[in-house]
Amino acid sequence: MDKQYLETEFNTFFEFDTANRSVVTSTLAKMFAEHMAAPIEAQVEQLRDELKTLRNAAGPFAKLMRHTSGQIPADRLSFADWHALAKACAGDTATERPNV
């Protein structure tokens, strides 16, 4: 978030009663902070979901790696494990499935 974006949002959000734009109530200031934080919070939540998906996809592989010398025993993983990892590596971390 750069200063220009913040300035634009500020000017759009507030209506001033005076020409010098010097007075903002604490209630409006809090509302503006919530207004600015909401999209960031949504993005953080989305990134948390993506991280959870990636961790879940890598989990079976990490578990096996603890008991091997570095090679992944492919026969001890399901196709679902490989599919989840391939999707995660391709950037497909959406938790919802599209309607087909």
Evaluate if pTM is beyond 0.75. no
Inter-residue contact 57 to 88 (CB < 8 Å): yes
Q: How many CB atoms sit inside 10 A of residue 68's CB? A: 10
- The pLDDT tens digits of the residues spanning 51-84 come to 898 888 888 888 887 777 777 777 888 888 888 8
* CA-based torsion, 61, 66, 70, 71: positive or negative: negative
Would you place residue 7 in the very low, low, confident or very high pLDDT band (cuts 50, 70, 90)?
confident
Side chain identity, residue 58? A
